[in-house]
Amino acid sequence: GQNAFTQGMLAMVTVLVIACPCALGLATPTAIMVGIGKGAESGILIKDAEALELGHKVNAVVLDKTGTLTKGKPEVTELIWQDGLVQDQKTLAKIFFALEQQSEHPLAEAIVRHLKPENRGSVQVNEFESLTGKGVQAVFEGKTYWAGSHTILKDQHIPVSDSLQQKVDELQQQAKTVIYFADKNQVLAIVAIADQIKEGSAKAVTELINRGIAVYMLTGDNQQTAAA
């Protein structure tokens, strides 16, 4: 037709200026939304578009243990008191309960469930403090008590009796997590906690390794339980 070149040029410019950016402007956000949505369906939360873009470059993954590789529903299997505490055991159990009740850790919840509601509200601890990655501490009647991992004992130079240490070694060999309850003089009790591995954990880790991704586990637990 007439002015074919001009009409052709206008059509080309129209496609380039309007259609292409419009398609990109729609396609990119749509692809991101679908990608993030698909991730969410599989329990993977993706922060933003940049994280999604960089995802294929990941060559190492660090996984938390409790609640990620394990079910996160730990249960107390044993509570062993230090010999010679029979008279004080009821009061100490109430202090232990009050201490763990204020902690937000899944292991503390398991201990609270095990010590049962009869200990609730019976004693009031003061100056409660959460020690990240270690445990908790609080004061009762002017005396400080601790509950947590072996790191607390190391930091506070609290001794463990030979009989309790023997029990600790046995429990750790069984892949159980050991929590210590202590005052500044000695370990008063130990608690053994078992947390089952999730059904899909081994398969997921194997799949990541098969894709050439290094997998690490991070935990505040003891070496033997972590290794097991």
- 166-208 pLDDT per residue, tens: 898 888 888 888 999 998 888 999 999 988 889 999 999 999 9
Tokens found for residue 39: 């991730």
Average pLDDT value for residue range 65-79:
87
Is the pLDDT at 41 greater than 90, yes or no?
Answer: yes
pLDDT tens column, 99-128: 888 888 888 888 888 888 666 667 888 898
Tokens found for residue 101: 């009740």
Q: What is the dihedral of CA 211, 217, 218, 219, to 10 degrees?
A: 160
Contacts of 150 by beta carbon, 8 Å cutoff, 6+ apart:
178, 180, 222
pLDDT tens column, 79-91: 988 887 766 788 8
Tell the residue number behind the tokens 């894709």, with chain if given: 211
Query: Higher pLDDT residue, 35 or 83?
Result: 35
H-helix or E-strand spanning residue 4: helix 4-14
Measured CA to CA in angstroms, residue 106 lies from 45, 65, 67, 81, 116 at distances of 22, 12, 8, 22, 16
Tokens found for residue 38: 């698909």
- pTM exceeds cut of 0.75: no
The pLDDT of residue 91: 85
The pLDDT of residue 217: 94
Query: What per-residue string of b and e applies to 5-39 under the rule 16 or more CB within 10 Å gives b?
Result: eeeeeeeeeeeeeeeeeeeeeeeeeeebeeebeee
183 is catalytic: no
Catalytic residue among 48, 64, 169, 183: 64
